[in-house]
């Protein structure tokens, strides 16, 4: 029985992304609910987003600028609410959820780049929509807490301007 080489290569690529994602998707609530532990897990997702991607390197500028801006905003909130332990946990959890969502969006884009079947592509598109909803909600909360000081607000406006210009052209 002959198996085409391209199928074997595609299976290896998908397996690598799958196991890499499984290794990173550790839930911090299992080990420790402290803000520091949650923050550390979020940093792992950020590092994953910042890693070079062989497949979609040219398409990650927005995600990388968003995660860097959000990290700065979260650091500002962390310092602002350093005497409120409940708020510290909320901020750390939002940072974790945001970093995980951006990581998952990167993974979804990578998968969409290598997949060819329509059903699988549609599934990943729907997943990307769900991930974007999570990202937008966390951005709204952060902007609500920081107002005009928010870095993510500025990055979001730049991205929206860029997208609207692309639609016009």
Domain count for the chain: 1
Give the Cα separation of 150 and 98 in Å (integer). 15
- Predicted TM-score (pTM) of the model is 0.74
Q: For residue range 120-130, what is the model confidence (pLDDT) as tens digits?
A: 778 878 888 99
Q: For residue range 70-127, what is the model confidence (pLDDT) as tens digits?
A: 999 999 999 999 999 899 999 999 999 999 999 998 888 887 777 767 777 788 788 8
Instruction: Please answer whether residues 128 and 55 qualify as being in contact, where contact means their C-beta atoms are separated by less than 8 angstroms.
Output: no
Cβ density class 89-110: b for 16+ within 10 Å, e for less:
ebbbbbbbbbbbbbbbbbbbbb
Range of the domain at 72: 5-168
């Amino acid at each position: 029985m002959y198996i085409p080489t391209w199928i074997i290569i595609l299976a290896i690529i998908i397996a690598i992304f799958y196991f890499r994602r499984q290794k990173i998707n550790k839930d911090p609530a299992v080990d420790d609910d402290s803000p520091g532990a949650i923050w550390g897990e979020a940093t792992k997702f950020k590092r994953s987003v910042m890693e070079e991607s062989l497949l979609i390197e040219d398409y990650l500028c927005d995600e990388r600028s968003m995660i860097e801006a959000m990290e700065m905003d979260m650091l500002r909130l962390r310092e602002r609410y350093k005497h409120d332990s409940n708020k510290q946990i909320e901020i750390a959890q939002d940072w974790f959820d945001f970093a995980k969502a951006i990581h998952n969006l990167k993974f979804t884009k990578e998968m969409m780049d290598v997949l060819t079947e329509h059903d699988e592509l549609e599934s990943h598109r729907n997943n990307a929509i769900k991930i974007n909803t999570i990202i937008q909600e966390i951005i709204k909360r952060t902007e609500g807490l920081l107002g005009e000081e928010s870095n993510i607000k500025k990055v979001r406006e730049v991205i929206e301007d860029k997208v609207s210009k692309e639609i016009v052209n």
